[in-house]
Structure 1
Amino acid sequence: MKKNILITLIFLCSIKITFAETYKVKTLEDFKSIAEKLVAGDKVIIQNGNYTNWFIELNNKGTAEKPIIIMAETNGQVVFSGDVERTIFKITGNFIYLQGINFKTCVLKKAEKSTGVLIELNGTSNCKVSHCNFESNVVKSQFMPLVVISGNGELNKIDSCNFTSNVDNQDVQIKVTKESFPLNTKIIHNSFSFKNKVSWKNGNGGECVQVGQDPVLLGNQTPKTFVSENTFTACNGENEVISNKSSGNSYTKNHFKNNDGELVMRGGHDCIISDNSFEGGTGGIRINGTGHLVTNNKITGIKTAIRLMYGMAKGKTKTGFYISASNCKITNNTISNADTGILVGDSKNADWTGKFDVKKYPSPVLQNVQPFDNEIYGNHFKNVKIEILKQ
């Protein structure tokens, strides 16, 4: 019996008992001093105030039951501003939640060996950014995002954040490369609003949500991003309010109001576009690629509600700067107060000579492959001059 008691005592002494801690920080030095110590269940409270010149990386590991929470003392009263040349919050761990932070009037720049980003989830799994505010931030180089999800992580979430009046930027970017991309990211319950036209000469780089960057060579990558229950109001940054450039993604239950732009399948295949509503503005849904399902959307007050585009090539294996819309199902959509409900065959014979790098993208330059094998049925039209136009 004495032997058993001794073994039990040795076992108990060998167990490292840890308890969740709550830390309050006021300076970057405060935060860095405790960053490496953070364990599952810990909470870091950033005290209310204005902050500049922050950059911190968190590679800690929380759990589903005990995430590590980084939060504002009071939602919206922890304000980051000023010049940003490095990532303010770079998260590379798991189950880390960032919440309640306000990023306002930040100026994002590229430095010699770094780029200004407000938040990056890099290679993370089960991390979440929630109830953060991004207002009147400006980028100084084209194609710079405020929030990036990158690397080979999964199940990350951008939830209940507000993006408003940001300038010349992309708001949320899902980074897709040949080597890596995050799986099953959720962008849900966010608000995007009052985004003016970008100042860049070619008019690109002002998306609210961009899923993939190279639709020509990497459009077949399948990050399976889920974009749902967001609102987009007066988002006029560029022609693509949402830019899909990869495969297997879902866009559901979003509301678009008075935007100068469209929900665009710029590249990629096999995406779901369902149960969205569009009210006013210049565009609804634009389709390139194969195998998309476009269903149960409600579109009103838009000149042309749904566009199926010509391409330079067809299918999933041919290289084309644009891929012709094919094998898509356009069904059970409700379209009202439009000139054209569904246009089959837009941008016919558009000539892209000199407009893209044919060495990088060995594609024909003429957009002359018409949409084909698409199923269009069961749609509902009200006060539409031409319900379905084929050209």
Structure 2
Amino acid sequence: MMTRNIHKAIISLLFIGLSSVSFAKRYDVTLPEVASCLKTAQPGDQIYIKDGQYKDMQLKWMGKGTEKAPITIEALNPGKVKIEGGSTLRIAGEWMSVSGLHFTDGYAPKGSVIEFRNGQELANHCRLTNCVIDKFNPSRRDQAYSYILLYGRHNRVDH
């Protein structure tokens, strides 16, 4: 009888422990689907962007990862997600990493190409890595222009 109660207690503890463990999800999406994925993404989730040429994209990505489990957004094949035309990317939230994007043959219609903010929402502890901005220039030479603007705290741009 005592052994049976001990077994029940152990099994109960296992179920309680498992319910508090979150399992990271993997999403394979097109570039326009990333924003809707981020609405339900949890810390540790991985979003992979399918190869393709995407034109005139106004991307606004907001998410909340954690230090131990950031949300990662990356090209399935780095360099094969080409963003062209009048396109911009706004990153906001906490602990997100963006990787493998290739901005080419375009311009930012307003502001800079990539900003670590979306309106008043800033980015903190976010990373932009292994991305390219090439042949992405304003239509007029006298126009003030920036490729990447950093807002918030503890953000990183590398590789």
Same fold (TM over 0.5): yes
How far the C-alpha of 1:108 sits from its partner, in A, is 2.1
* Structure of higher RCO (CA pairs closer than 8 Å, 6+ residues apart): 2
TM-score (norm: length of structure 2): 0.78
Identity %: 25
Partner SS for 1:63: coil
Partner SS for 1:93: strand
- 1:129 maps to 128
* Deviation string, structure 1 residues 94-118 (Cα, Å, up to 9, x no partner): 1111111100011222xxxxx2532
2:133 is equivalent to residue 138 of structure 1: no
- The correspondence of residues 102-113 of structure 1 with structure 2, limited to 5 A, is 102-109=102-109
- 1:90 maps to 90
Partner SS for 1:139: coil
Amino acid at match of 1:156: N
Q: Give unpaired runs (5+ residues) of structure 2.
A: none
Contact 2:97–2:128, Cα closer than 8 Å, also in 1:
yes
Amino acid at match of 1:81: E
Change (3 A) 1:20 1:155: same
2:114 is equivalent to residue 119 of structure 1: yes
- The correspondence of residues 1-391 of structure 1 with structure 2, limited to 5 A, is 12=16, 15-28=19-32, 30-84=33-87, 88-109=88-109, 115-122=110-117, 123-140=122-139, 142-150=143-151, 153-160=152-159
How far the C-alpha of 1:68 sits from its partner, in A, is 1.0
Moved over 3 A (4+): none
Change (3 A) 1:32 1:60: closer
Partner SS for 2:153: coil
Task: Report the structure number with the largest CA radius of gyration.
Answer: 1
Q: How many residues align?
A: 145
Partner SS for 1:33: helix
Q: How far apart, CA to CA, are the structure 2 residues paired with 1:117 and 1:38?
A: 26
Q: What is the root-mean-square deviation in Å for CA atoms of aligned residues?
A: 2.6
Q: How far apart, CA to CA, are the structure 2 residues paired with 1:51 and 1:36?
A: 21
Q: Give unpaired runs (5+ residues) of structure 1.
A: 110-114, 161-391
TM-score (norm: length of structure 1): 0.34
Q: How far apart, CA to CA, are the structure 1 residues paired with 2:21 and 2:56?
A: 36
